[in-house]
Chain A
Amino acid sequence: MLHFDWSFFEGLLLHPPSTFVQGAIRTIYLAVIAQALGVVVGLVLALFRRSRRLPLRAFASGYIWLIRGTPLLVQAVIVYDGLSALGLYSFNTVTIGPVSIPGVVQAGIVTLTINEGAYMAEIMRAAIDSVDRGQAEAAGSLGMRRRQAMRHVVLPQAMRVVIPPLGNEFNNMLKVTSLLSVIGLQELFLAAQDYNSATFRTFEIFLVAAIYYIAMTTAWSFVQAAIERRLQSRGGYVAERVTLRERLFGGGGGAIAADQLRGAR
């Protein structure tokens, strides 16, 4: 005898309470902001790792080692609760014009950015290394400085290689935001959990949450496919075509390569 409450499920799916909707919106903007910042951090770290200066290389290696060697849950608690308990820094609500950003959201973004930066660094470094050495040599032979060659010749090519794994990172990011519930950030997962403790309709509630997540990641797959198509048509040359089927259900060469680039999380 199954206790599946269809009308409850349907109502929740089609007319979700505002906490649910706000949680979902928060999940999306957390993921977008953290991914964007993570790309910047990752790029800087990747350039550090390829720097001729030992301290920069050492810093980047140490950073990546620390972040990839510890769980995101632990990082989140340290950033939000730990720093505050230590008396080092407390995240408080910041108001910029009409928007006010709660401290916990700031801490969430910081944590995700720090974390994602380490993974993006590895992706960026692999992408930079994938650009043929002859490219930097050709730039150098024209009198370009190393920095100019990196910026105008190597990075534009590396970025095309980065696009597919970057898309996979973002797919992951959408889901990983749920871990921030540990510091009490009201994203989709915590909204579902709170709703559950009021109604105890656990299966229906988390089924709806799952449907929300899959809607987000699937929508993203389409966006990603469109971006890659566009890059390809604009004189570009994305090395490998990933079909939408591979994108959604896995098994594509691109997905495997991306996982190898990223290593197991």
Chain B
Amino acid sequence: MTRDSAAAARATAGDNAAGAGGQPVVLGEGIHKWFGRIHVLDGVSFEVRNGEVVVVIGPSGSGKTTLLRCMNHLERIDRGRLLVNGHLIGYRQNARGELVEESEAEIARQRQEIGFVFQQFNLFPHLTAIQNVALAPIRVRKVPRRQALADARELLARVGIAEKADAYPRQLSGGQQQRVAIARALAMRPRLMLFDEPTSALDPEMVGEVLEVMRELAETGMTMVVVSHEMGFARGVGDRVMMMDHGRIIEAGPPAEVLGNPAHERTRAFLSKVLH
């Protein structure tokens, strides 16, 4: 599929769109975050539109993981606003207009709409692949077990590992584990998928199979934010690239521009390191 037809697929996949009518799926405004005295996010503003694939790049420690984790409230933000699917994520405004943390139940509900894929997979080691995928639909969405298992089997087929449904994570290769993790996140039918360096813990020969699954997912019109230094993926699948440095987005734009002709000296220096 070309980028144009992918974009067309997205346009038609817009029926579940939180972002329909121009509202972005993710909207960040002046986000600040400190870990102790480290200023990890220093006034980050950005948006992710419906069906868009945004690739986040930047040197180690620049705050990419932290920003991604804020998007499903695995981390709290200290200042600014972050809206996901049209709602402040993890916070609500009280009567005096101050932001207070949401109830645990509400945070859990918001997270059902947001898939997260971890660098280290974080599969549940005591459950088989198919049980990993079906657990949350059964326990959270209250899908009948039989139905959830059938759905899970279908998802595992979609990521190309139907035959490993009854294997435990430790019996799977890294690439297979990460594909199970993607299926697990998709099982909750999220409207947004977040990926934190999904291939950087993999042996080189397994990177391709995971990126391929992500590319196919992008073609279905899924909104995705991907922290990754896979430049081929960023160019081929990404709609936009955001370059982070020292807790700021120093540059953002179409992959061809940011990667091909970076405006910032830091971006240029970073890219020359990654590409070699």
Show the binding face of A for B, using Cβ within 8 Å.
Answer: 132, 134-135, 137-146, 148, 152-153, 156-157, 160, 235-237
CB-defined contacts of A143 to chain B, threshold 8 Å: 108-109, 111-112, 136, 140, 188
A236 touches B136 (CB 8 A): no
Which of B78-86, B120-128, B208-216 forms part of the interface with chain A? B120-128
Contact indicator A148/B124 (Cβ below 8 Å): no
Contact: A141 with B116, CB < 8 Å? yes
CB distance from B180 to the nearest CB of A (A): 12
- Known contacts A141-B115, A141-B116, A143-B111; A135/B140 CB under 8 A: no
Pick the contact of B125 from A139, A140, A146, A237 — CB < 8 Å? A237
From B108, B122, B168, A137 is in contact (CB under 8 Å) with B122
Whole-angstrom CA separation of A182 from B10 in the bound complex: 77
Interface centre among A132, A138, A146, A153 (most CB of B within 10 A): A138
Query: Which residues does chain A contribute within 8 Å of B139, judged by CB atoms?
Result: 144, 148, 152
Most buried by B among A137, A142, A148, A235: A142
Q: How close is A46's CB to chain B, nearest CB, in angstroms?
A: 18
- CB contacts (< 8 Å) of B226 on chain A: these are none
Residues of B within 8 A of A138 (CB): 116, 118, 122-124
CB distance from B104 to the nearest CB of A (A): 6
Q: Which residues of A contact B109 (CB under 8 A)?
A: 143
Leading 6 A-B pairs by shortest Cβ distance? A143-B112, A142-B136, A141-B116, A138-B122, A134-B122, A235-B168
Give the distance in Å from the alpha carbon of A237 to the alpha carbon of B118 in the complex. Answer: 22
**Residues on the A chain within 8 Å of B72, using CB:** 141
How many interface residues does chain B have, given as a range? 20 to 34
Residues on the A chain within 8 Å of B184, using CB: 142
Residues of A within 8 A of B108 (CB): 140, 143-145
Residues on B with beta carbons closer than 8 Å to the beta carbon of A146: 104
Q: Nearest-CB distance from B141 to chain A (Å)? A: 8
9 pairs from A and B in contact (CB 8 Å cutoff): A135-B122, A137-B74, A137-B122, A138-B123, A142-B111, A142-B112, A148-B139, A148-B140, A160-B126
CB distance from B1 to the nearest CB of A (A): 29
Return the chain B residue nearest A52 by Cβ.
B104
Using Cβ atoms and an 8 Å threshold, which residues of chain B touch A145?
A: 104-105, 108
Cβ-based interface call for B135 (8 A): yes
The answer for the CA separation of A160 and B136 in the assembled complex, in Å, is: 22
Smallest Cβ distance from A178 to chain B, in angstroms?
37
Q: Does B39 contact A (CB under 8 A)?
A: no
Task: Name the distance in Å between A70's Cβ and chain B's nearest Cβ.
Answer: 37
A215 to B197, CA, bound (A): 56
Check if B104 sits within 8 Å of A141, measured CB to CB. Answer: no
Point out the residues of chain B lying under 8 angstroms from A160, CB to CB.
126
Complex-state Cα separation, A144 to B109, whole angstroms? 8
